[in-house]
Structure 1
Amino acid sequence: MNALSVMPVVLCLLIIFVYFYPSECLDFKYHNNKELERVMRNFSVITKNIHTNLYSIGRSTNGLPLWVMEVSGSKTARSDLPNIKFVANIHGNEAVGRELLLHFMEYLRDNYGKDPSVSCLLDNSRIHLLPSLNPDGFSISTEGQCVGEHGRLNGVNGNMEDLNRNFPDYFHQDLNPRQPETEAVMAWMDKIPFVLSAGLHGGAMVANYPFDSEKVTKSTPEKFPSLTPDNDVFQHLARTYARNHPKMKIGLCEDDTKPQTPYFEDGITNGAAWYSFTGGMQDYNYFKKGCMEITLEISCCKYPLPQELKKLWEQNKQSLLSYSLEALKGVSGQIFDSSDERPIENANIEIIGRNMTFKSSQNGYFWRILLPGSYQLKVEAVGYYPKIVPFEVRDQTGINCPTNTKLLIFLINATTPMSAALQGSEPTGGSGVSCTPCVEGAYTE
C-alpha cells in the first residue's frame, strides 16, 4: 500500500479526531446549534476540577434541545446552596449572550482555585447557564445585522411569538399562546428554587430592572417607573452589573465612539420607565418564583460580527462575576416543624414592609437578597402558627467572599394549644432568631 492510497483514510481519521475530540480552546466565533451542543458536551467531558451537569429543560418549537450547563465547586448535591441562572438568546437575533455564557462557563472552570472570587462563587452556589432559549430564531438570523426583527421570534421561519412577551404578567392577563420554550422555563423554575437570574439581550447597553409591566397604561408620551417592593435591591443589582462594565456605566455602546441613545444614568433603567410591555420574563421570575432577575442589554448591535466578540467578552466578564456574587448576600435559612424537626416545604415567607411573598424549597430552605439593615421575616405555613423573626443583614462592602445572615426557624403545629405555643414548644436552641453564623452544612442533605 503506497502513501497515496492511505491518504484518504488518514484524512478521514483526522476529520473525526478534530470533530469529536474535546477541545479546551473556545474560539471567539458564533457557534451554530449543533456546535453549541458539542461545546457544552465537550466541556462536561474534560472538566474535572469542578462539578458539571449538562441537561436539557425541554425543546424549542422546532424540536431543538434547550441545553443548560450547571457548574459548582461542590461535588455533592447540596440543597442549601443558592441557585443562579443566566438565560441568553431569548430573541434569536440577539446573539452575543449565547457566546458570552459559553466563555463565562470556561472562565469559571479555568479560574476555580486561582481567583478567590471565582472560588467563593462556585463553592457557595450552583450556576445554571442556558446559552440559547431561542435556537429556532437564531438559526435564521443574519450575522452582522445590528437592527431589525428578522429572527427575533421562535418557530418555523421565526413567525411564532416573542418569548419575552410570553410569560404570565403581574398586572395584566397575557393572552399570547404559551410557547414550548416559555413552558420549559416555567417548569424549570418549578423544579429549582432560583435566587438570582439575568436575561441577556442586545440592541442597547443598559441594565434593566422590574417591573416592565405597569398597572395602568398611560397614553401620555412621558414614561413613568413601575417599581417593585424590592426596588432598592433591584437598583443595587442593576448598578452592580453596570458599574463593573466599562461602557455601560458611562452611557456608551460597545463602540467607543457611539453614545447611548437614550442616555441611561449610571447605565441602569426601570423597565416601564424605558418602555412598558406585558408578559416579560424578569417580572415573572420575581412575582411568581421569588427570583431576582434583571434584563441585561449588552450590545447596541444585536448580532455584531464575530471579530467583536472578544471585546464584548472582556467588557462583560467582571460584571457577570460581580453580579453573581450578589446571590450570596442577604438572608437565607431553613424552616422546620418544631415537634419533629421535619423541613417545611412551600411555607409563605415575606419581608415585613415588602408586600411580596416567596416560598421555602422542598427541603425547607429559603433565600432572599437584601441590602444591609434591620428586617423582620414573617413565615406562614398551612397547619402551623405564623411566626415573625427579626434579623440583621450585615454590610458586605469590601468583603471578597460575602456571607449572608442564616436563620433556623421552627414553626409550632397549630394542633398545639395556644397556651403551650405562647410558652414555646421548640427544640433546645431553636429560637427561630438569627444565628449568625450558623453551623455550615448542619442541615444540608
Structure 2
Amino acid sequence: PVTEGDYEEGFELPDYDDLTYGLPPPPEPRKHPDKGDEMETGKPKKGGSSKEDEEEPWAEEKGQDRKGKPKKPGGKKLDLDEDEWAPPEEKTRCPPIGLESHRIEDDQMLASSMLRHGLGAQRGRLNMQAGTNEDDFFDGAWCAEDDSRAHWLEVDTRRTTKFTGVITQGRDSQIHEDFVTSFYVGFSNDSQAWVMYTNGYEEMMFYGNVDKDTPVLSEFPEPVVARYIRIYPQTWNGSLCLRLEVLGCPLSTISSYYTQQNEVTSMDNLDFRHHSYKDMRQLMKVVNEECPTITRIYNIGKSSRGLKLYAMEISDNPGEHETGEPEFRYTAGLHGNEALGRELLLLLMQFLCKEYQDGNPRVRSLVTETRIHLVPSLNPDGYELAREAGSELGNWALGHWTEEGYDLFENFPDLASALWAAEERRLVPHKFPNYHVPIPEHYLAEDATVAAETRAVMAWMDKNPFVLGANLQGGEKLVSYPFDTARPRGQTPLGARHPPDDYEDENPELQETPDHAIFRWLAISYASAHLTMTETFRGGCHTQDMTDAMGIVQGAKWHPRAGTMNDFSYLHTNCLELSIYLGCDKFPHESELQQEWENNKESLLTFMEQVHRGIKGLVTDQQGEPIANATIVVGGINHHVKTASGGDYWRILNPGEYRVSARAEGYNPSVKTCSVLYDIGATQCNFVLSRSNWKRIREIMAMNGNRPIRHLVPGRPMTPRERLRLRLRLRHRMRLRQQMRLRRLNATATTTTTMAPPLPTTALPFPFSSTAYAPWSQEPPTAGTWEMETETETEVVTELVTETEAWELGTGTAQPFTTAETYTVNFGD
C-alpha cells in the first residue's frame, strides 16, 4: 500500500471528501511591525475576537463567508483589513532538467516498451532529430510497440527534484505524423510505487500536441517533489510516439560521478542571461565605455529587416590594421535559434575587458598582439523570432533562416565545385587558380539569390586580412573543418575517372584540403580544451558519433553541403575557417549559461592563440617598400596566401621545416627555408624581391597573341619525352623555313638570289648562321609585309630561336630573359 511517507513532503494522498483538498494552504496574516504576538505581550488581540469569529481566507472558494458560515445570497462584500492582506505567492518557475541538452544520460530514461531500438527511450528527447535514413537506429522519437494505453516513458533525475511541468513534442519524421494529444503524469521516489497527479478530485489529464513539430508546455498547478516522473499517453495521432522535456528545480546533489565532476561554478562576474537585440547593443556599449582604449564598435552591414550587424573590435590600437599583427574573428548567430554562441561572444568581450584591466598577462598578450573581431549576431531577425517563442518552446527550425528564407551558412558561392571542375579540364593552376578563387559573376548580380547578410559578410572578409576564424553554431557538440562539400565520385584531383557505378551520386568522395593536417590541429586545439566535447561515453546528439571520440570531423563526412562559409573563406581568402558546434541544445535555458561559459572559456582563448602558430613576415623590394598581393608558396602544400596592403603575411603551419618562396608580378622570386616550432609564436620569415623584366616579357607576349611561355629550369636534365618533342618541333621549324625560301625564290623570277652556306658552330646543334641583333630592335612583322622580309631578317630570328632551343637542351648560356624574348617573336612558328 502507498503511504504518505513514500513521497516525503511534496505529495499528498487524495481525499475526495475534503472540500479544501487541492487548494493551497491559507497564508498566515501579516503582523504589524509595531505590535508583538499575543503570547509574548500577554494581551488579547485587538478587538477581542474569539476563535470562532476568526476569518478564513479561503472561505469564498468553498461557498462560505469570511467567518466560515454559509454565504448568504446578495450579501454585502466585506472589506479586508489592510494589515491582514498578503500578496499571492509567486509561481515557481524551474529550468529544464536536461533531456534536450543530454545532461540527462541515456540510462536515466526508461520506457515500458519500444517499437525497435531506433525508437527506444533514449530517443524521446525534446527536438531529437531523425537520421538521414528513416527507420534506422537513429529515429526521431520514442515509440511504443503497440497502441495500448498502459505504456509509459520514465525519467530518473537521480536527485530530489521539484517538478513544475513538462514539454511534449511529436515524432521527427518526413513520412509519419505521430504525436500524443493527452496524457497523465505520475511520480515516485523509488520507481516502484507511483502516484498520479490529481486536481483534488480525480487524476488530472494534460493536453498535448496538435502537430508533430511544435513543443507544448504543460505546467502543474502545484509543484511536486519526487525523484522519478512518468508520462502515461492516453490519446495520440498516428502511432504512440513522444519527445519530452521536464521542468524541475533540483533540491539535492546529483548521484552521477561523470556529471558531478564537470559541474563548475564560474567565478567570473559576468552578465549570464539572454540578451535581446536592444540588450545586446547596450551591453556592447557598456563594454566599450569600460575599456575605450582597446575596444571599438562598428557594423558590417544590415539584415534584410534593417537591423545592424554589430561587431566588437578588441585590440591595443582599435580602428586600423597594424603591420605584422594578425587578425582573428569569431562569428555567431548564423542561425537565429542557435543562441548559445551569441551569449558566449558577449561573455567573451566582457571577460577580455575585465581581465585586461586586471592585468591578466595572458589576456594582455592576446589583445596587444592580435586584432580580434567578435560578431555575436549575424542573423538578428531570426533570433528575435526564436526569442519570442522562448528557449524551450521554439521548434528545431523556428528562427533558423533569415527573414527572406536563406540559410546563411550555406548561402556562399560554391567555389569548391568550380575548382574541381577546372581540375577535370586541366586548367589548374595556369588558367584557373587554386587559391583566392574569384566569385562567379552571376553570384554578384543584383537579382542573385543571395541574402543581404551574406553580401555584408563577404565584403567584410575582403576588407580585412583575416588569418583564422570560427563560426559558433549549435545542435551538435563537435568541431567541423573544410571541405564541407563532397566531391562527386567521377572526379579526382588528377582528372582520372573511376569505373562506372550505379550509385555514384549517392556515394560521394571525401576531398581533403591541402591544409588538412593544419585544420585537424586547429580543430583539436578547441575540442581538447573543452570540458565535455571529447567525452566518449556521450556519443552524438542525434545520430552516431562521427568524430571517433575526438570531437572533430570533416564537414563532408558528417554533413555534406555546398556553398558553406568555411569553404568560401578557405578558397577565396587567406583565412582558415572552422565551425564549432557548442551543444545539443540550440537555445539553452538561461540557468545553463554559467556552466556553458566554463565549458568553453579555455577553448575560446586557446583557439585564438593558434593564430600565432606558423610563419609570418614582410615582403619588400630592394628599396624597402612593401609589396602588396605577393604570393607566399609553401612547398608541399598546394594552397597559397597573399600579402596584405602593408606587405605583411601570416601562414598557419604545423611544426616542421618548410621551403617557402615569395613571388610577385614584376619581381624575381625569392626562396627560403623556415622552421616552425611547437611553442606558440610564429617564426619570422621576411623576403626581399628584386625587379625583373617580366613587364617587357608580357608586352612581347601580347604582341604574339598571349601564348603561354614554357617554364624552364636551367641545368635540369631533359626527359626522353621532352627531348623527342623538342626534336619534332625543330624539324617542323626547319621545314617552314625551307618552304618560305622556296616561295621567295619563285616570286622573284627575274632576280637570282644566291644563298650563302651556313657557318659551322659548336654551340648550336644545327648549322645555322648567327647574327647578334637584339629582338626588341625590330618591329614585329605584319601580315602585309610578311613576304617582303629580307633573308637577313629571317636568319636573325631563326638564329635567336635556335639559340633558345640550345639553352633548353642545357648547352647554351642564355638567360630566361633572352629565352622569353626570342621564343615568342618567331613569325615562322
Asked whether the two chains share a fold, i.e. TM above 0.5, the reply is yes
Which residue pairs with 2:175 in the alignment?
none
The unaligned stretches of length 5 or more in structure 1 are 1-23, 397-401, 423-445
Deviates more, 1:136-145 or 1:364-373: 136-145
Cα deviation digits, residues 368-408 of structure 1 (max 9, x gap)? 11111011122221111122222111121xxxxx2210122
Distance in 1 between the 2:695 and 2:466 partners? 37
Q: How does 1:243-254 map to 2 (within 5 A)?
A: 243-251=528-536
Matched, 1:230 2:515: yes
Q: Quickly say closer, same or farther: Cα 1:382–1:294, change in 2 above 3 A.
A: same
- Cα deviation for residue 120 of structure 1 reads 2.0
Distance in 2 between the 1:193 and 1:379 partners? 18
What is the identity, as a one-letter code, of the residue corresponding to 2:576? Answer: M
Contact 2:475/2:541 (<8 A) preserved: no
Deviates more, 1:74-83 or 1:282-291: 74-83
Partner residue of 2:583 out of 299, 312, 317 = 299
Matched, 1:359 2:642: yes
Matched, 1:59 2:331: no
- Cα deviation for residue 117 of structure 1 reads 2.3
- Secondary structure of the 1:167 match is coil
Report how many residues are paired. Answer: 383
Q: Which has the higher contact order (CA 8 A, sep 6+)?
A: 1
Which residue pairs with 2:405 in the alignment?
160
Cα deviation digits, residues 298-349 of structure 1 (max 9, x gap)? 01111111111111111000000001100011000111012x2110111122
Matched, 1:286 2:530: no
Which residue pairs with 1:197 in the alignment?
469
- Cα deviation for residue 25 of structure 1 reads 6.3
Q: How does 1:44-443 map to 2 (within 5 A)?
A: 44-48=288-292, 50-74=293-317, 77=320, 78-112=322-356, 114-141=359-386, 142=389, 143-145=391-393, 148-155=396-403, 159-172=404-417, 177-216=449-488, 219=504, 225-251=510-536, 261-263=543-545, 264-265=547-548, 266-338=550-622, 340-396=623-679, 402-415=680-693
Q: Quickly say closer, same or farther: Cα 1:213–1:259, change in 2 above 3 A.
A: closer
What is the identity, as a one-letter code, of the residue corresponding to 1:311? Answer: Q
- Cα deviation for residue 53 of structure 1 reads 1.0
Q: How does 1:23-34 map to 2 (within 5 A)?
A: 26-34=270-278
- Secondary structure of the 2:534 match is helix
Q: Quickly say closer, same or farther: Cα 1:31–1:393, change in 2 above 3 A.
A: same
- Cα deviation for residue 417 of structure 1 reads 12
Cα deviation digits, residues 226-256 of structure 1 (max 9, x gap)? 3110111100110010001111111476xxx
- Cα deviation for residue 278 of structure 1 reads 0.7
Distance in 1 between the 2:412 and 2:488 partners? 19
Q: Quickly say closer, same or farther: Cα 1:109–1:251, change in 2 above 3 A.
A: farther
The unaligned stretches of length 5 or more in structure 2 are 1-267, 419-439, 490-502, 697-713, 715-829
Contact 1:59/1:66 (<8 A) preserved: yes
Distance in 2 between the 1:301 and 1:89 partners? 14
What is the identity, as a one-letter code, of the residue corresponding to 1:245? Answer: H
Cα deviation digits, residues 21-74 of structure 1 (max 9, x gap)? xxx9642111111111111112111215x5111100110111110000011245
- Cα deviation for residue 138 of structure 1 reads 0.7
- Secondary structure of the 1:186 match is helix
- Cα deviation for residue 222 of structure 1 reads 6.2
What is the identity, as a one-letter code, of the residue corresponding to 2:655? Answer: P
Distance in 2 between the 1:262 and 1:146 partners? 25
Distance in 1 between the 2:695 and 2:571 partners? 35
Distance in 2 between the 1:147 and 1:251 partners? 28
Distance in 1 between the 2:536 and 2:284 partners? 34
What is the identity, as a one-letter code, of the residue corresponding to 1:403? Answer: G
Q: Quickly say closer, same or farther: Cα 1:144–1:251, change in 2 above 3 A.
A: farther
- Secondary structure of the 1:92 match is coil
- Cα deviation for residue 128 of structure 1 reads 0.3
Distance in 2 between the 1:335 and 1:152 partners? 44
What is the identity, as a one-letter code, of the residue corresponding to 2:396? Answer: G
Contact 1:74/1:122 (<8 A) preserved: no
- Cα deviation for residue 286 of structure 1 reads 1.1
- Cα deviation for residue 225 of structure 1 reads 3.4
Distance in 2 between the 1:37 and 1:322 partners? 27
Stretches of 4+ moved more than 4 A in 1? 74-77, 173-176, 217-224, 257-260
What is the identity, as a one-letter code, of the residue corresponding to 2:515? Answer: D
Distance in 2 between the 1:259 and 1:363 partners? 46
Q: Quickly say closer, same or farther: Cα 1:147–1:330, change in 2 above 3 A.
A: farther
Cα deviation digits, residues 399-441 of structure 1 (max 9, x gap)? xxx22101221111114999xxx9xxxxxxxxxxxxxxxxxxx
Distance in 2 between the 1:281 and 1:99 partners? 21
What is the identity, as a one-letter code, of the residue corresponding to 2:392? Answer: G
- Cα deviation for residue 85 of structure 1 reads 0.2
- Cα deviation for residue 134 of structure 1 reads 0.5
Contact 1:330/1:369 (<8 A) preserved: yes
What is the identity, as a one-letter code, of the residue corresponding to 1:332? Answer: K
Contact 2:541/2:584 (<8 A) preserved: no
Distance in 2 between the 1:416 and 1:287 partners? 27
Distance in 1 between the 2:571 and 2:656 partners? 23
- Secondary structure of the 2:459 match is helix
Distance in 2 between the 1:82 and 1:61 partners? 31
Q: Quickly say closer, same or farther: Cα 1:169–1:318, change in 2 above 3 A.
A: same
Distance in 1 between the 2:301 and 2:451 partners? 11
- Secondary structure of the 1:103 match is helix
Distance in 1 between the 2:693 and 2:540 partners? 66
Distance in 2 between the 1:300 and 1:294 partners? 18
What is the identity, as a one-letter code, of the residue corresponding to 1:184? Answer: A
What is the identity, as a one-letter code, of the residue corresponding to 2:544? Answer: P
Which residue pairs with 1:20 in the alignment?
none
Relative to the length of structure 2, the TM-score reads: 0.44
Distance in 2 between the 1:189 and 1:252 partners? 39
Cα deviation digits, residues 103-122 of structure 1 (max 9, x gap)? 01111122225433222211
What value does the CA root-mean-square deviation take over the aligned residues? Answer: 2.5
